[in-house]
Amino acid sequence: MQKTNANLSRLRTIAHKLQNDSAAGLLLMAAAALALAWANSPLRHLYEAISEAHLGPANLGLNMSVTHWAQDGLLTVFFFVVGLELKQEFVTGSLREPKQAALPMLAAIFGMVGPAALYTTLVFLQGAPTAASGWAIPAATDIAFAMAILAIFGKGLPPAARTFLLTLAVVDDLLGILVIAIFYPQGALSFVDLGLCLLAIAAFGALAQLRLGRWYLLLPLAVLAWYFMYRSGIHATIAGVGLGMVVPAKRRAGEEESLTHSMEKKVTPYSAGVAVPIFAFFAAGVNIVDTEGGAAAMLTHPVAVAVMIALPLGKCLGIFGSVLALTKLTPLRLGGGVDYADILPIAFVAGIGFTVALLIASLAFSASGEFTEAGRLGVVLGTAISALIGALLLRRRVSNPTRGSQKA
């Protein structure tokens, strides 16, 4: 009995730590680093064999590789948490007041346009116009990873700086979801399957509204929603967003916290501790040593180069440039003690585009495995560059906290 209690206590401690952005970000980095090392080690054939092993019932169209399951299945848990966060932010959070959220929301839009435009320009300049379909790869920001870097290296910044990055990343996630749904469909759209998915999501939302949130009632509906979304031709993970968005975000009388918040606390350990690290492990394992031309050829591939430059530089140009222009040319202003010198490192931190960027890299080049591998490598390296520059600039900013009225 004591051993059981001790094990439960350890699990609760781990779950609590995974609620922390820093712990989740470090675990994500560790999974990606392990994958990259294993995929280029003497045991790389074992990594490939595990990644390509097929599981699931073929009669339901679900006999997929382990990598495919991680991408289309497990990652849905992450997108469910994203849906919960979006609902919370729209109803009671930073997106509830459009006037206050306008500047980071517009910065998020330009923060996607900047990397997309820079990526497209770079692949054309390198003579690889067929790679233009990967324009959305560097446009995404990874909330957990970015917030982890800010939490570790940005201690001392005004609380409004965290709110700015969180708002920007949430809007970026919403735009990324729309990009996946609209520009990267998985086949011909089936309105019947989409309708069945929406029915399952509606039933999930009705039970949540009635506070009949028992897992044995909600989980089967969530699985059905995922399955019909998978069959519909829209990427299956979008079902997770829909399920999260129908959960009520306002507290009822007698409730200590909203249902979105309580569900997020329960599901986040599974998302941050299981789903996202496993996805990262199978998505980030790019084999460099066996490619034609070796590591040098992969590192100088037009797609890899474009992504690794567009993530840090494109995000910085889009976010910092738009904030500078909007605050000079419109009535919009930075608030809460935040100034331009805070926005510069935040713009680079927003270049950490790991989870969603890796997903888009796997969807953008259906006809070319070489382009997909190069895109994934670009995401890993571009994220590392963004994290390093962002961390250095944050440390420098924290050590020199002199503040003015929005002056860099």
Grouped pLDDT means (10 residues each) for the chain, 408 residues: 52 54 78 91 94 93 92 91 88 79 93 96 93 92 84 87 88 88 84 96 95 90 96 91 94 88 91 90 86 80 96 96 95 88 95 89 81 92 94 91 57
Q: Is residue 202 part of a domain?
A: no
Q: Is residue 193 part of a domain?
A: no
Q: Is residue 327 part of a domain?
A: yes
Distance of CA 177 to the CA centre of its chain: 10
Q: State the pLDDT at residue 16.
A: 52
Over the stretch 169-197, which tens digit does the pLDDT of each residue have? 888 888 988 898 888 887 778 999 999 99
User: Per the structure block, which two tokens stand in for 259?
Assistant: 């249902």
Q: Is residue 122 part of a domain?
A: yes
Q: Tell me if 359 sits within 8 A of 180, measured CB to CB.
A: yes
Q: State the pLDDT at residue 247.
A: 95
Q: Tell me if 102 sits within 8 A of 333, measured CB to CB.
A: no
CATH of the domain at 177: 1.20.1530.10
Q: Is residue 143 part of a domain?
A: yes
The single-letter code of the amino acid at 242 is G
Mapped onto helix, strand or coil, the DSSP state of residue 115 is helix
- How many structural domains is the chain composed of? 1
65: part of which helix (H) or strand (E)? strand 64-65
User: Per the structure block, which two tokens stand in for 150?
Assistant: 């800010």
Q: Is residue 204 part of a domain?
A: no
Q: What is the gyration radius of the CA atoms in the chain, in angstroms?
A: 21
Q: Is residue 226 part of a domain?
A: no
The single-letter code of the amino acid at 99 is K
User: Per the structure block, which two tokens stand in for 304?
Assistant: 């890899």
251 secondary structure, DSSP code: P
Q: Is residue 203 part of a domain?
A: no
Distance CA 162, CA 42 (A): 42
Distance CA 193, CA 227 (A): 9
Over the stretch 5-39, which tens digit does the pLDDT of each residue have? 554 455 455 555 555 666 777 888 889 899 999 99
Q: How does strand 54-55 pair with strand 64-65?
A: antiparallel
Q: State the pLDDT at residue 8.
A: 46
Q: State the pLDDT at residue 100.
A: 78
> DSSP states of 328-387 as a string?
HHSS----TT--HHHHHHHHHHTT---HHHHHHHHHH-TT-HHHHHHHHHHHHHHHHHHH
**What is the span of the domain harbouring residue 128?**
23-186+235-399
Q: Which residues does 136 contact at the CB level (< 8 Å), separation at least 6?
A: 112, 116, 176, 179, 183, 184, 360, 364
